[in-house]
Amino acid sequence: MRIIKVVIILFVFVSNLAAAGVSPTPYFSIDKIRISDNTGYVYIQPKEDITPVNQSCKRTHFFALSKNYDLFQELYSAAYSAALSGKNIRVWISTDHDDCLNGYQQVRLIEVDF
């Protein structure tokens, strides 16, 4: 039963990624995580300067996660655990034109370097 759940989660995840173009950032460490009830977004601030991936997003000092994203809880948990443990992460950003959250680059995938 657990294998079926994992397969379903992976299918939903891959389906969402296929719908949008994505591109990865280099690995970075997290300086801050900001949660906004006003916007419904979680913002991740890297310690390092990261070259923007989606040039149509004008705000570049944070990456953004939407609470409406199917795998929001998993993505947020990965970012939070990486921040707590001091591990580096890499995020895949939507590269679709104007696919920004409040002007910030939208996170579609997170990889934690344990």
The whole domain housing 67 covers 2-113
Domain of 93, CATH number, reads 2.40.50.50
Is 105 buried (19+), middle (13-18) or exposed (0-12) by CB count in 10 A? buried
Q: What is the pLDDT of residue 62?
A: 97
Burial 49-83 (b: 16+ CB within 10 A, else e): ebeebbeebeebebbbbbeebebbeebbebbeebb
What is the average per-residue pLDDT within 11-19? Answer: 51
* HEC sequence for the chain: CHHHHHHHHHHHHHHHHHHCCEEECCCECEEEEEEECCCCEEEEEECCCCCCCCCCCCEEEEEEEECCCCCHHHHHHHHHHHHHHCCEEEEEEECCCCCEECCEEEEEEEEEEC
- pLDDT, mean of residues 54-60: 95
Number of domains forming the structure of the chain: 1
- What is d(CA 80, CA 72) in angstroms, rounded to the nearest whole number? 12
Name the least confident of 6-10, 22-26, 88-92. Answer: 6-10
- Per residue in 21-37, pLDDT tens? 999 999 999 999 999 99
Of the pLDDT bands very low, low, confident and very high (cuts 50, 70, 90), residue 14 is: low
